[in-house]
Amino acid sequence: RYTVNFLLITTQLGFCSVYFMFMADNLQQMVEEAHMTSNNCQPRKILVLTPILNIRFYMLTILPFLVLLVFIQNLRMLSIFSTLANVTTLGSMALIFEYIVQEIPDPSSLPLMASWKTFLLFFGTAIFTFEGVGMVLPLKNQMKHPQQFSFVLYLGMSLVIILYICLGTLGYMKFGSNTQASITLNLPNCWLYQSVKLMYSIGIFFTYALQFHVPAEIIIPFVISQGSESWTLFIDLSVRTALVCLTCVSAILIPRLDLVISFVGSVSSSALALIIPPLLELITFYAEDMSYVTVAKDIMISILGLLGCVFGTYQALYELIQPINHSIANSTGVYA
């Protein structure tokens, strides 16, 4: 129980740190290219400009707004912001698809297979992308008709899978090894696609509070129980502020969006999604004559998750300690 709670806290706060980086990356590009932005949406020639202000400045700019956002504690109220985030995200994705399907270069020059090092990073990134186990029970518990949750889950995940595969494939065909950690950073410098970055960042901003809800629900009741009842509100708000600041500090210390995604996915998400659930099923139901197929399935999934966790974590940490080439710091080309 304590291990799962620790991993849930680590994973969800890791998501929040990644959101900080995503918003800061896009905000930096929007602000520092504003004087060159035009109505002419030509392909981006220069991937990364010499920054005027450090990326960490933009993270600190976002910090107070997120602190105020997480003071909202009701999950039903947060669902309103989540709906707004979905609307802005879908609008952004429609415009991104509209751009990347135009004039796709001949993909025959792209490598069919990446190196094994890149595959290890991909494992962590993929697990991170689909890792939503921390939100399953909170969302189900807040539903008017919880019995319909399975349908909602399968429909939602099916749509997510289709969107990710299409966006990833078309994006790589369009930009090749110059695809950046966030594809929004590859969009042309014109007002239309600057609005895409803005809408996407707004969507991520509101989603932050939803991801933050899980560690807050685990940590805050425990901290409150250690103090006086008259200090409950003060302790609640203080802990929320401290946790948001912690995610900001984490993002400031390691401002590498791609590697942090892979690291969080390899360490925490693989344990929560692949290693622990099959082991729990074995421990709980083995005495009730589980079939050999189910036992073999659980063992294979756990082994796959353990291998991915170990090797993915090693590769992410190895890449993190390497000197940063600032010209391609957030580009897939860094692994070429």
Amino acid 332: pLDDT: 42
Amino acid 296: pLDDT: 93
Chain segment 73-130, per-residue pLDDT in tens: 777 777 788 888 888 888 888 889 988 998 888 888 888 777 777 888 888 888 877 7
Amino acid 248: pLDDT: 93
Amino acid 325: pLDDT: 55
What string of H, E and C letters represents the secondary structure of the chain?
CHHHHHHHHHHHHHHHHHHHHHHHHHHHHHHHCHHHCECCCCCCCCCCCCCCCCHHHHHHHHHHHHHHHHCCCCHHHHHHHHHHHHHHHHHHHHHHHHHHCCCCCCHHHCCCCCCHHHHHHHHHHHHHHHCCHHHHHHHHHCCCCHHHHHHHHHHHHHHHHHHHHHHHHHHHHHHHHHCECCHHHHCCCEHHHHHHHHHHHHHHHHHHHHHHHHHHHHHHHHHHHCCCHHHHHHHHHHHHHHHHHHHHHHHHHCCCHHHHHHHHHHHHHHHHHHHHHHHHHHHHHHHHCCCHHHHHHHHHHHHHHHHHHHHHHHHHHHHHCCCCCHHHCCEHHHHC
Amino acid 33: pLDDT: 79
Amino acid 323: pLDDT: 65
pTM for the full model?
A: 0.78
Amino acid 331: pLDDT: 43
Q: What is the mean pLDDT of each run of 10 residues along the chain (336 residues)?
A: 88 88 88 78 61 84 93 80 84 89 86 79 80 74 85 88 89 86 83 86 88 90 86 91 94 81 83 89 86 92 90 84 56 37
Chain segment 280-292, per-residue pLDDT in tens: 999 998 888 888 8
Q: What CATH number does the domain located at 1-105+115-321 have?
A: 1.20.1740.10
